[in-house]
Amino acid sequence: MSRFLAERYASLEAYTPGEQPTDMKYIKLNTNESPFPPSPAVIRAISEESVRALRLYPDPECGALKAALAEHFGFEKRNIFVSNGSDDILNFSFMAFCDGKKCGVAFPEISYGFYQVYADLYGVDAKKIPLASDFSVRAEDYLNVGRTVVIANPNAPTGIALSKNEIERIVASNPDHIVLIDEAYVDFGAESAVELVHKYDNLLVVRTYSKSYSLAGGRLGFAIGSEALIDDLNRIKYSTNPYNVNRLTLLAGVAAMEEHDYYMNHCRTIEANRAYTTDALTALGFEVLPSRANFVFARSPRIGGEQLYLELKRRGILVRHFKTESIREFNRITIGTLDEMKSLVAAVEEILTATGAND
């Protein structure tokens, strides 16, 4: 830290992204990316001509992409906000909708780590609501909370999802506060709350192209909400960085919507690979939480979470381990191709044998 850093950031604990090592080629199952490339239309969209056009600023309104998203989801452009990854939208939402003095925020105690970072960044009082003993989010805990509510659905890193009805109960019981549903992983078998935006002006649904749309490196996210909420987000965007989505990413986003089936077919493949992985790990004695996401969260009574993570890394397989006490025996394993998952299962089996954990 330099002596010039603003005092209010001196004790800020930043988010730790998953490792992106370059020392060797890993089977990368640690940051929930898609194992599949973007669709053909996306690859075609990044043409020499589009690269030449990079001399010009992008459309700050993201008009073409908003139109494509509005049509796909059955909303108007004014209900859509587009930004540089969904982290950007979460950041703007904490700025816009979590007033420390008026209300503060509530989110699950075990969830996406960035929620706490944004709360700290903006000095927002955060109420962290414990999960149930089966690691699920209990909808009842979020009724009438009197705060902005932020829930990842499916939750991360557990993968467990709430139903649309449960989300609706939460939204309906907090009419004077924003309920933000982070649907980063919804395409892998959970129910979306997007439709409820027609009915509730306090619901903001945040989505990303990073997982189901194979575009983590493009940095693209969007939100769907009432016109007034989208206006608020635009106010923040135009007060910080109006050109925050670059030209190539905008083209990629539009092209991806033209080939929606390509992506949804891959989601079904991921679901099948998730079932394979769950069954195989369960057969090896693991407890695997019931995931609706492109990852599973699993622990073994035979080997510690950190030890398994390190042993897998030694064998060229990266998974995500968290040091938080209540989940430290787990690892979060991204679902990749079937071959990748077979390699993972074989490595786990070998580790259990080599460490004597199989006895």
User: Which residue, 29 or 351, has its beta carbon nearer to ligand PMP?
Assistant: 29
What x/- string results for residues 172 through 191 when contact with ligand PMP is judged by CB under 6 A? ----------x-x-------
Q: Which two tokens stand for residue 327?
A: 């989940």
Q: How far is the CB of 295 from ligand PMP (least distance, A)?
A: 9
User: Which residue, 34 or 208, has its beta carbon nearer to ligand PMP?
Assistant: 208
Which of 69, 131, 152, 171 lies at the binding interface for ligand PMP (CB under 6 A)? Answer: 152
Q: Answer for the pair 217, 235: CB distance below 8 angstroms, yes or no.
A: no
In three-state form (DSSP H/G/I as H, E/B as E, the rest C), the secondary structure along the chain is CCCCCCHHHCCCCCCCCCCCCCCCCCEECCCCCCCCCCCHHHHHHCCHHHHHHHHCCCCCCCHHHHHHHHHHHCCCHHHEEEECCHHHHHHHHHHHHCCCCCCCEEEECCCCCHHHHHHHHCCCCEEEECCCCCCCCCHHHHCCCCCEEEEECCCCCCCCCCCHHHHHHHHHHCCCCCEEEECCCHHHCCCCCHHHHHCCCCEEEEEECCCCCCCHHHCCEEEECCHHHHHHHHHHHHHHCCCCCCHHHHHHHHHHHHCHHHHHHHHHHHHHHHHHHHHHHHHCCCEECCCCCCEEEEEECCECHHHHHHHHHHCCEECECCCCHHHCCEEEEECCCHHHHHHHHHHHHHHHHHCCCCC
d(CA 200, CA 194): 10
Q: How far is the CB of 72 from ligand PMP (least distance, A)?
A: 18
User: Which residue, 26 or 284, has its beta carbon nearer to ligand PMP?
Assistant: 26
Which of 208, 273, 277, 334 lies at the binding interface for ligand PMP (CB under 6 A)? Answer: 208
User: Which residue, 202 or 210, has its beta carbon nearer to ligand PMP?
Assistant: 210
User: Which residue, 229 or 357, has its beta carbon nearer to ligand PMP?
Assistant: 229
Which residues inside 309-348 make contact with ligand PMP, applying CB under 6 A? Answer: none
Q: Quote the radius of gyration of the chain (alpha carbons, Å).
A: 21
Q: Is 314 exposed, middle or buried (0-12, 13-18, 19+ CB in 10 A)?
A: exposed
Which of 41, 67, 70, 216 lies at the binding interface for ligand PMP (CB under 6 A)? Answer: 216
Considering only the stretches 82-90, 123-131, 142-150, 278-286, report the one whose residues sit in contact with ligand PMP under the rule CB under 6 A. 82-90
User: Which residue, 27 or 152, has its beta carbon nearer to ligand PMP?
Assistant: 152
Which of 221, 253, 305, 336 lies at the binding interface for ligand PMP (CB under 6 A)? Answer: 221
Does 87 interact with ligand PMP (rule: CB under 6 A)?
yes
Q: Which two tokens stand for residue 351?
A: 């580790």
Q: Which of 167, 129, 185, 120 is nearest to 332 (CA)?
A: 185
User: Which residue, 9 or 15, has its beta carbon nearer to ligand PMP?
Assistant: 15
Does 112 interact with ligand PMP (rule: CB under 6 A)?
yes
Residue entry with tokens 């969830």: 111
User: Which residue, 192 or 307, has its beta carbon nearer to ligand PMP?
Assistant: 192
Number of residues that bind ligand PMP (CB under 6 A): 12
Considering only the stretches 42-50, 79-87, 94-102, 222-230, report the one whose residues sit in contact with ligand PMP under the rule CB under 6 A. 79-87
Which of 174, 210, 294, 334 lies at the binding interface for ligand PMP (CB under 6 A)? Answer: 210
User: Which residue, 109 or 349, has its beta carbon nearer to ligand PMP?
Assistant: 109
Does 85 interact with ligand PMP (rule: CB under 6 A)?
yes
Which of 86, 158, 214, 294 lies at the binding interface for ligand PMP (CB under 6 A)? Answer: 86
Which of 106, 119, 131, 156 lies at the binding interface for ligand PMP (CB under 6 A)? Answer: 156
Q: How far is the CB of 82 from ligand PMP (least distance, A)?
A: 12
By CB under 6 A, name the binding residues for ligand PMP. 85-87, 112, 152, 156, 182, 184, 208, 210, 216, 221
